[in-house]
Amino acid sequence: MKKLPVFETFYSWQGEGCHTGKSAFFIRLFGCPVHCPWCDSAGTWHPDHIPEIIEKRSVETLVAEAIKENPEIVVITGGEPAIHDLTQLTAALRQVGQSVHLETSGAFPIRGTFDWITVSPKVWKEPIESCITQADEFKLIVDSTDAVRLWESKIGQQFNDRPVWLHPEWSLRGEADILQIINTSVKKQTNRYRAGYQLHKLYQVDQEDKRSKPTIELAPVSREYF
């Protein structure tokens, strides 16, 4: 069966979105053409941080790793996991009774069958229509005081009552103007906005699994959209 380039796998819990707090086995795949300037998984693509050896693992191996932990959900993430054909992996995971989730920028067609899809759009490679349609929730990274307004103008009419999480870009999580934009947007009660956060980072739960690699975060870049 198919082999996939794997950056890391580890057992943790989901720290974001509607499934926050659920035990989760993460499969982080290698590769990403989006290249966010504040990426917190830079080891999956950045030339300064790519590991010397990129391991390819079979579907059977990945499924065996996941079921050994007996997680509530399996999360396939990246990098940008949708650049890979995930049909065999998702079919094999679902066959053994695992609930399979995807975290994607939405910029590439999704290949595979998922129980939950989180789309986190990025301005550096914008989401395509098919991914917007398939999303169960959206995660908007608020890295500018204009970020929420930007995505409202681009895809706001397509949210269609699905949850839309507003996350402060991690390096800006203490910035008052960024937090105020999120607070105000949520209290307006438009587009089902919800205040989001990366709770797993506060708990440092990923690091409890020795398979989890140290987080590599790029230096933040100031960006105003308008």
The rounded distance, in Å, linking the Cα atoms of 88 and 22 is 24
Three-state secondary-structure class, residue 123: coil
Please tell me the predicted confidence (pLDDT) of residue 225.
41
pLDDT (tens digit, 9 = 90+) per residue, 36-94? 999 989 999 999 999 989 999 999 999 999 999 999 999 999 999 999 999 999 999 99
pLDDT (tens digit, 9 = 90+) per residue, 95-147? 999 999 999 999 999 999 999 999 999 999 999 999 999 999 999 999 999 99
Distances, alpha carbon 220 to alpha carbons 39, 79, 171, 173, in Å: 9, 17, 7, 12
Taking the alpha carbons at both ends of the chain, their separation in whole angstroms is 48
> What single letter denotes the amino acid at residue 139?
K
Q: Taking the alpha carbons of 99, 100, 105, 109 in that order, is the dihedral positive or negative?
A: negative
Q: How many other CB atoms sit within 10 Å of the CB of residue 208? A: 11
Instruction: Decide: 29 and 7 in contact? Cβ < 8 Å.
Output: yes
The rounded distance, in Å, linking the Cα atoms of 94 and 217 is 32
- Token digits for 209? 């699994």
Task: Output 180-188 pairs: Cβ under 8 A, ≥24 positions apart.
Answer: 181/142, 181/145, 181/147, 181/148, 182/142, 182/148, 185/148
226 versus 202: the higher-pLDDT residue is 202
Secondary structure letter of residue 201 according to DSSP: H
Domains and CATH numbers, the chain: 3-208 (3.20.20.70)
Please tell me the predicted confidence (pLDDT) of residue 226.
35
The rounded distance, in Å, linking the Cα atoms of 31 and 54 is 10
pTM: 0.95
pLDDT (tens digit, 9 = 90+) per residue, 165-203? 999 999 999 999 999 999 999 999 888 899 999 999 999
